[in-house]
Chain A
Amino acid sequence: MPPTARPLSPHLGIYRWQLTMTLSILHRATGIALAVGSLLVVALLLALASGPERYAQVQGFCASPFGLILLFGWSWSLCFHLCNGIRHLAWDTGWGFEIPKAYFTGWSVVLLSFAMTALIWICVYSRGGLT
């Protein structure tokens, strides 16, 4: 880096909290949460390959209160990251940068992510929940 002291843009604390920045931050946060959550995918598949005892252990963990909290969080993270990821891909094509559009797609992502999460858990509990 050159030693020249350049003016820096102000950090987060100075801005009014708004939807677009919230979703941008959440996109990263949910991405990291999902990267950690992929460990559960590994655990589930390895257990399925290992035998019924291991599989029962993983199932038991998922159905425990702590497991359920993680699954709720991860399912919403997945829905949000998926919907907002599509929003990002639309931006990559150059579409949707106008402020009204960015807000419309932003709120759509919020609503859709909660609706998808609700749908997933309705499917889970309409058939007896996790065992």
Chain B
Amino acid sequence: MSAAGNDLQTPLKRVRGLGSAKSGTHHFIVQRVTAVALIPLVLWSIWFALKLMHADYAHARALLHEPLNAVLSIAFVIALFWHAQLGVQVVLEDYVHTKWLEVSSQILVKFLCVLGALACVLAIVRVALA
């Protein structure tokens, strides 16, 4: 884009026909959908965390072993990391203006969120199937 600014095309003319910028409303919608999912899941996870807090190790495992608790925990961590990635993405887009730094931090955050979700799901499945 080094030619930008010293040719005779307007910015609008230059981008016409190239499709929408980035991915349109998809990010906005997924952020809202995960937010809606997280309302009941967060309330449930607070209640579940309070139960875990007063349980010893064996009892805590037994609680997570119950199918309903395991399924809701998996749903919670997936929605949590998905929503977190989408939220942090917007913050980085807004405040990190150095291109290489923005791209690398976006990728890093995506990797960390996927890793976090995978680790949680593996741990839950391991306890649930034990």
Asked if B26 is at the interface (CB within 8 A of a chain A CB), the reply is: no
Partner of B42, one of A2, A3, A78, A88: A78
What is the distance, in angstroms, from A62's C-beta to the closest C-beta of chain B? Answer: 8
Q: Which of A14-22, A45-53, A107-115 contacts B (4 or more CB under 8 A)?
A: A45-53
Interface pair A86/B39, CB less than 8 Å apart = yes
Point out the residues of chain A lying under 8 angstroms from B36, CB to CB: 89
Structural contact, B54 and A120, CB atoms closer than 8 A: no
Known: A38-B80, A78-B42. A89 touches B35 (CB 8 A): yes
Which of A35, A82, A89, A128 has most chain B Cβ within 10 Å?
Answer: A35
Contact call A41/B54, Cβ cutoff below 8 A: no
Cβ-defined partner of A45 (8 Å) among B11, B46, B57, B120: B120
- For B53-80 the 0/1 string (1 means CB < 8 A from A) is 1100100110010000000010001001
Cα distance, A52 to B58, chains bound together (Å): 8
Q: Chain B nearest CB: distance from A10 CB in Å?
A: 17
A32-B88, A35-B87, A49-B127 are contacts. A89–B32 as well, Cβ < 8 Å? yes
On chain A, the residues within 8 Å of B60 by CB distance are 48, 55
Give A55 to B58 CA distance when docked, in angstroms.
10
A11 at the interface (CB under 8 A from B): no
Residue B24 lies at the interface, judged by CB distance under 8 Å to chain A? no
Contact A46 B123 (CB under 8 A): yes
The answer to whether B50 and A123 have CB atoms under 8 Å apart is: yes
Given known A32-B88, A89-B35, contact A38–B11 (CB-CB < 8 A): no
B44 to chain A: closest CB distance in Å?
12
Size category of the binding interface on chain A: 20 to 34
> Smallest CB-CB separation from A82: which chain B residue?
B42
The reply to whether B119 and A52 form a contact with Cβ atoms under 8 Å apart is: no
Interface pairs (17), CB distance under 8 Å: A31-B91, A39-B116, A44-B52, A45-B123, A46-B123, A48-B64, A49-B122, A49-B124, A49-B127, A52-B57, A82-B39, A82-B42, A86-B39, A89-B32, A120-B50, A123-B50, A127-B54
Known contacts A46-B123, A48-B57, A55-B60; 7 additional CB pairs below 8 A are: A31-B91, A32-B87, A41-B116, A41-B120, A44-B52, A46-B119, A49-B123
Please give the residue numbers on chain B whose beta carbons come within 8 Å of chain A beta carbons, in ascending order. 5, 11, 32, 35-36, 38-39, 42-43, 46, 50, 52-54, 57, 60-61, 64, 73, 77, 80-81, 84, 87-88, 91, 116, 119-120, 122-124, 126-127
